[in-house]
Amino acid sequence: MRFPLLAAFALAATLATAETPEITFDLEPVAKSLPGRIDLPPDMDIVLNSEEATLIWTPEASGDERPAPRRYTLDVLASHPGPKGWSTHLAWMVARSRNDFWILWAYVNDAGSSCWINYYHFAENRIRMSLFRGRYIFRPPETFGNAPVEIDIAPDRLPAYAGKAFRHRDFGPAGGKFPVLRYLDGAEWKERKEELTVRPLIDVEVPAQNGWATDAWTEVHGLAWNQDATRLYYVVTYSAVNHGWVVDLRDGRVLKTHFGEKVVMEPK
């Protein structure tokens, strides 16, 4: 009877280990071969473990002088189901410094040596997708809690929106207002009754048959802030549904938000 008992203990230990939350990343992007050219990704590293949580980015050199690397505090915001056929999870992450930030969407399984990541960088006002290689483990906890990071981005620093024309109840290509922020807290809808100014940053075309839905949709991403600009929110709205997402850049939280209306893209 000894061997079955030891086997049972080993199985129990394996199951306990598998259920223990753990998130580690040690990744960097790789070049992508395109017809007639090589698409070089930014010089960046993503490191998250028990001792470090950092995104390191080195801007492109201008002339002979190589810019110094810039370091950002990296936090995982949420885990959502990944698109069917792509990944088990969609990990939302934010990397913040006082005057810049990145939003990252990582298509990950429970562990692996490579994954695709979509990432938006405010300083460049650009969203890209790259294959990252290295190693990662992603066994997320039920809830996420991150330390606040002070963000000091003046609204007059925002880049001009150069995307497609669109209509929404509360804002358009020139900007607008959110009179109230309605968000989901657990199973309950709550409201932050503080008027926010919102400006679009970019639009994103999501193709059909994308693993979540059969139809294509368009996203309009923007930045919203309160009256004294002490709170900044990265906003994601959709042409397919009237809800979306808001990343609280100070508190490091992602909120499911009900905007009350879909984004309507204007015909070309």
In a domain, 153, yes or no: no
The predicted-structure confidence for 109-164, as pLDDT tens digits, reads as follows: 999 999 999 999 999 999 999 999 999 999 999 999 999 999 989 888 899 999 99
* Mean pLDDT, residues 93-104 taken together: 97
For residue 15, tell me if it sits in a domain: no
27-53 pLDDT tens trace: 999 987 666 667 788 999 999 999 999
Instruction: Note whether residue 48 is domain-resident.
Output: yes
> What is the mean predicted confidence (pLDDT) over 172-183?
93
Using one digit for the tens of pLDDT, what is the confidence trace for 209-255?
888 888 999 999 999 999 888 899 999 999 999 999 999 999 999 99
> Is residue 107 pLDDT above 70, yes or no?
yes
Please indicate, yes or no, whether residues 31 and 134 belong to a single structural domain of this protein.
yes
For the chain, give the mean pLDDT. 89
- Mean per-residue pLDDT, 69-76: 97
Pick from 77, 104, 139: which residue ends a domain?
Answer: 139
pLDDT at res. 229:
85
- Amino acid 4: pLDDT: 46
Q: Are residues 171 and 250 in the same domain?
A: yes
Query: Where is pLDDT greater, at 263 or 15?
Result: 263
Confidence at residue 194, expressed as pLDDT on a 0 to 100 scale: 87
Residue 147 lies in a domain: no
pLDDT at 73: 96
pLDDT of 8 = 41
Which residue did the predictor score with more confidence, 268 or 94? 94
Query: How many Cβ atoms from other residues are within 10 Å of residue 243's Cβ?
Result: 15
**Beta strands 126-139; 22-29: pairing state:** antiparallel
Judgement on whether residues 194 and 253 belong to the same structural domain of the protein: yes
53, 105: one domain: yes
Residue numbers of the domain that contains 230: 161-265
Domain contains 95? yes
**One domain for residues 97 and 175:** no
